[in-house]
């Protein structure tokens, strides 16, 4: 019964060692530390394999051969474990030390192979009984020393790095388990034909791997890349030099139905049919449309080729990026640009219309007023003084017409500049002086400065429109204009003694005054009652 259990233990040890070695070679970082631990596991496998046949009927030669194979693992496990311990502790054995340590193991193994000539390793070697010689005990002591030294090196590194006490306990346990089992076997306390040390070493390796090293040997990049590539929106296809797909993430599987191990030719054929050749230069980015559950996807194709030093292709990667959203935004951007252009054209059209209305309305109103005065003058008795006055009115009408034409041209070409008006008060006095049919009285409060000249167009246009409306609708004989310069803003007050109105309707003129004022960051109020004239209050901040 015990022999059966020990056979199961050996098989378990072989299985654990094979699993550990495979896991290290496939999942772990490709470093010397990983290689050293994998070598230890392989030596344990070599140690265990012949032991499975030791209980079977065999000749002396067969048993000696089994021992010879098994002792390849036994002889070199000690220095291999010590080498691993140094590498894991981020220390390095010199080449001389490595040659010395493995040289001792090689000498011990050579003594085993030549035992028939000197009987130093086995004093007696028979099928029924094996008597150990002095070199065997030297070999075992050397193996113990290497294992204990390796544990001491790892333990010292753990203490230096302040590793948790539980990890230190595992290290001590890992050292004690194989040594204890080996002592039980060597002293004969456990009478069996099987050496218990290999299963103990296998168990120790698993303990070290799971409890102590944890993620130290784990290739985090390899594990993370799979999850990252599966979570990204782009499709990723990797293929080798034999044109076999070695990896494709979830997006590539969903879009194209690809699987790892497929040939690349079907994918290339799909791309060629869609007009997106995957063998184009890396700098080109062809785009094709793909139907996906009723949704049209636009995929951009990029190919990257990895070559060796000779220039031969080693592997290739194809990236499929869903650029449908980009093209959608691009189209929306174009539509928005067209809309903005239409709005800009409409805004400019409205500006020109307002400028033409204000300029033409004021100019024609003033010319009409002058023509009325000229007609009155012709009806009266004419003398030198009257002729001179009529000539002056005609000259003013001509100047108004020329000025209006210039302003219309500037308005259409958007050439008006506030600097052309100079001080605000200059434009106010100019407008007031051009009115002939009624009196315009101007009062300036505060100091007009050049830095306020950016408000000249606003004040000028608002006053001009107020004068035009007074001419056309108010039938006033007097108009007061007060320009008050405050600390942070200026106030413009305009009053006339016209007929007024009960309800103020915002036509083009009043609307233009409001728009200009609000665009300059100001406020405006219109007040009127029937028979009490019309009042306009404007406040304009100086701003910057």
Task: Quickly list DSSP for 275-293.
Answer: T--TTS-TT---EEEEEET
Q: Which overall architecture, per CATH, does domain 420-539 show? A: 2-Layer Sandwich (3.30)
Q: On the CB side of 415, how many CA atoms lie within 13 Å of its CA?
A: 7
319 within 8 A of 248, measured Cβ to Cβ? no
pLDDT digits (tens, 9 = 90+) for 426-477: 989 988 888 877 899 999 999 999 889 889 989 988 998 888 888 888 888 9
Q: For 419-450, what is the HEC assignment?
A: HHHCCHHHHHHHHHHHCCCCEEEEEEECCCCH
pLDDT digits (tens, 9 = 90+) for 498-538: 998 888 888 878 888 998 899 999 999 999 988 889 999 99
pLDDT digits (tens, 9 = 90+) for 187-206: 666 555 555 565 565 566 66
Window from 1-15, 49-63, 303-317, 341-355 with minimum mean pLDDT? 1-15
**pLDDT band (50, 70, 90) for residue 282:** very low
Mean pLDDT on 355-368:
69
pLDDT of 461: 87
Window from 151-160, 268-277, 401-410, 431-440 with minimum mean pLDDT? 401-410
**pLDDT band (50, 70, 90) for residue 382:** low
Window from 377-391, 477-491, 520-534 with minimum mean pLDDT? 377-391
Give the homologous superfamily in CATH for domain 222-326: PAS domain (3.30.450.20)
Does the structure show a pLDDT above 90 at 270?
no
The alpha helices in 208-322, defined as continuous H runs, are: 220-231, 250-256, 265-273
Q: At what angle do helices 197-207 and 32-51 cross, to 10 degrees?
A: 150
Mean pLDDT on 213-222:
50
pLDDT of 503: 86
Mean pLDDT on 314-319:
87
Share of the chain above pLDDT 90, in %: 15
List beta partners, residue 122. 132
The alpha helices in 161-262, defined as continuous H runs, are: 165-187, 197-207, 220-231, 250-256
pLDDT of 445: 94
pLDDT of 174: 60
pLDDT of 345: 73
pLDDT of 188: 61
pLDDT digits (tens, 9 = 90+) for 46-65: 776 776 666 667 788 888 88
pLDDT of 150: 84
Tokens of 446: 């505060």
pLDDT digits (tens, 9 = 90+) for 2-28: 556 656 665 666 666 666 666 666 665
* Higher local confidence (pLDDT), 267 or 346: 267
pLDDT of 203: 62
Query: What separation in angstroms does the CA of 192 have from each of 55, 148, 183, 186?
Result: 10, 26, 13, 11
* Higher local confidence (pLDDT), 299 or 446: 446
Does the structure show a pLDDT above 70 at 177?
no
Mean pLDDT on 63-71:
84
Q: On the CB side of 166, how many CA atoms lie within 13 Å of its CA?
A: 6
1-217 CATH fold: Rhopdopsin 7-helix transmembrane proteins (1.20.1070)
pLDDT of 197: 60
> Mean pLDDT across the chain, nearest whole number?
77
**Domain range summary for the chain, segments of one domain joined by +:** 1-217, 222-326, 328-414, 420-539
The alpha helices in 290-323, defined as continuous H runs, are: none
Angle at 188 between CA 187 and CA 191, to 5 degrees: 160
């Amino acid at each position: 019964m015990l022999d059966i259990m020990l056979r199961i233990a050996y098989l378990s040890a072989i299985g654990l060692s094979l699993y550990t070695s495979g896991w290290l070679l496939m999942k772990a970082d490709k470093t010397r530390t990983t290689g050293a631990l994998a070598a230890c596991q392989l030596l344990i496998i070599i140690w265990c394999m012949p032991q499975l046949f030791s209980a079977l009927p065999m000749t002396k030669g067969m048993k000696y051969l089994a021992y010879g194979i098994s002792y390849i693992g036994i002889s070199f496990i000690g220095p291999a474990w010590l080498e691993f311990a140094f590498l894991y502790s981020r220390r390095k054995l010199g080449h001389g030390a490595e040659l010395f340590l493995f040289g001792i193991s090689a000498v011990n193994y050579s003594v085993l192979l030549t035992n028939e000539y000197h009987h130093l390793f086995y004093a007696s070697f028979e099928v029924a009984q094996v008597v150990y010689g002095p070199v065997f005990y030297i070999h075992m002591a050397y193996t113990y020393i290497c294992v204990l030294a390796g544990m001491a090196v790892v333990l010292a590194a753990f203490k230096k790095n302040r590793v948790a006490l539980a990890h230190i306990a595992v290290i001590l346990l890992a050292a004690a388990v194989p040594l204890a089992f080996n002592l039980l076997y060597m002293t004969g306390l456990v009478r069996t034909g099987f050496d218990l040390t290999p299963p103990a070493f296998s168990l120790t390796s698993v303990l070290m791997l799971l409890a102590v090293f944890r993620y130290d040997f784990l290739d985090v990049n390899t594990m993370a890349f799979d999850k990252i590539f599966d979570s990204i929106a782009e499709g990723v296809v990797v293929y080798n030099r034999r044109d076999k797909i070695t990896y494709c993430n979830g997006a590539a599987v969903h879009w194209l139905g690809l699987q790892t191990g497929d040939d690349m030719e079907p994918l290339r054929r799909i791309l060629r049919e869609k007009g997106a050749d995957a063998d184009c230069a890396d700098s080109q980015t062809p785009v094709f449309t793909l139907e996906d559950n009723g949704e049209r996807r636009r995929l951009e194709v990029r190919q990257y080729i990895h070559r060796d030093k000779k220039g031969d292709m080693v592997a290739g990667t194809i990236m499929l990026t869903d650029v449908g959203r980009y093209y959608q935004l691009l189209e929306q951007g174009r539509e928005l640009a067209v809309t903005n252009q239409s709005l800009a054209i409409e805004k400019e059209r409205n500006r020109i219309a307002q400028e033409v209305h204000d300029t033409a309305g004021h100019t024609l109103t003033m010319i009409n007023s002058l023509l009325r005065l000229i007609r009155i003058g012709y009806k009266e008795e004419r003398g030198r003084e009257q002729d001179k006055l009529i000539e002056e009115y005609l000259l003013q009408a001509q100047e108004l017409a020329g000025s209006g034409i210039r302003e219309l041209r500037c308005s259409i070409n958007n050439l008006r500049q506030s600097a052309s008006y100079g001080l605000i008060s200059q434009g106010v006095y100019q407008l007031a002086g051009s009115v002939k049919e009624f009196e315009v009285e101007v009062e300036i409060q505060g100091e007009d400065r050049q830095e306020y000249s950016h408000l000249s167009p606003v004040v000028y246009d608002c006053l001009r429109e107020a004068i035009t409306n007074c001419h056309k609708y108010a039938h006033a004989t007097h108009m007061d204009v007060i320009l008050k310069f405050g600390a942070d803003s200026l106030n413009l007050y305009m009053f006339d003694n016209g007929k007024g109105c009960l309800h103020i309707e915002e036509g083009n003129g009043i609307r233009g005054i409001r728009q200009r004022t609000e665009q300059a960051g100001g406020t405006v109020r219109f007040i009127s009652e029937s028979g009490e004239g019309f009042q306009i209050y404007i406040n304009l901040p100086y701003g910057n």
